[in-house]
Amino acid sequence: MKKFLNDPVQFVDEMLGGVLAAHPEQLSTCAGNIRNIVRTHKKEKVALVTGGGSGHLPLFMGYVGEGMLDGCAVGGVFQSPSSEQIYEITKSVDSGSGVIYIYGNYSGDIMNFEMSGEMAEFDSIRTAHVVGNDDVASAPKGEEHKRRGVAGIFYIYKTAGAAATQGASFDEVLRVAEKAKSRTRTIGVALSPCIIPEVGKPSFQINDGEMEIGMGIHGEPGIIRTNLQTADEVVDQMVGKILDDIEMSAGSEVSVLVNGLGATPKEELYIIYRRVAEILKEKSIKVFHVYVGEYATSMEMTGFSISLCLLDDELKKLLAFPYKTPFFEQGALL
């Protein structure tokens, strides 16, 4: 293992210490726990809270900020945060309008967010759950409830965050979040494993010259392991699987997210997007907004994912709404 760190046991807390020191005007903590991240300035609105394991920056904490989320419970590397963390954050960010939980479809996260919601009920805090499940490789069509949540959760954060910031009601924000979820699909590919600092060795093996399509962000098995192919050949397979899963006709409009998994140069991500754009143009599918970069990583894993979000006029307006977090900024907030 070759990493820039001190004690592997302190990896998460020292990372959080650096983020908080760099961005005190935007991020703070609550209940005396450095792993309970909240916005420095509380807003009177429907609150949005996420959470999950470390090792995926900017997911999950990187989306706390203006126009996005209000709090994030941070777990250990690839480990769920506790229900107590989520509960303390819920109490901290609630302004009386309720709290919507947005998180990925992983058993530990589901259990702990549900426990937090039950505890919040005793404090008369209204909660609801939106569970991201955009990974088309993790379960067949018709069994979407079994799918993992990966980079496409960004679209739920973005649209629900915009709706909440503009003063939408609890039910309206929840509707928007579920709508974005239902219209988003993702698939990934990996060329190399990653190393959890406390483990000190790769979490799985991929031979030189091989790739795996459909691999999850924790190293969960994919659907195709094959010899390394050209960028265009890989993209053709991945986009094909997304378009087979969600109906898009000529004239449909989408947003595209090409996400690096941690060790893929941005130059390569743009080579990927070039082919995505060609495929969509061939099918007369319009592109409204493109995101290229690191949005949900897996430590130093080499690979990328492609997400498509099928838009309508409402989602387009919400996607265009300004936001500002320590990791991202779009437009100017009033």
Q: How far apart are CA 49 and CA 247, in angstroms?
A: 30
Q: How far apart are CA 241 and CA 183, in angstroms?
A: 15
Question: Residue 297 has which token pair?
Answer: 């990583």
Q: How far apart are CA 46 and CA 164, in angstroms?
A: 6
Q: Which of 23, 145, 218, 289 is catalytic?
A: 218
With b meaning 16 or more CB within 10 Å and e meaning fewer, what string describes 195-227?
bbbeeeebeeebeeeebbbbbbbbbeebeeeee
Could you confirm whether 218 is annotated as catalytic? yes
Could you confirm whether 289 is annotated as catalytic? no
Q: Which of 41, 56, 129, 289 is catalytic?
A: 56
> For helices 170-182 and 153-165, what crossing angle results, to 10°?
160
**Those residues with Cβ within 8 angstroms of residue 267's Cβ, 6 or more apart along the chain or in another chain:** none
Catalytic residues: 56, 218
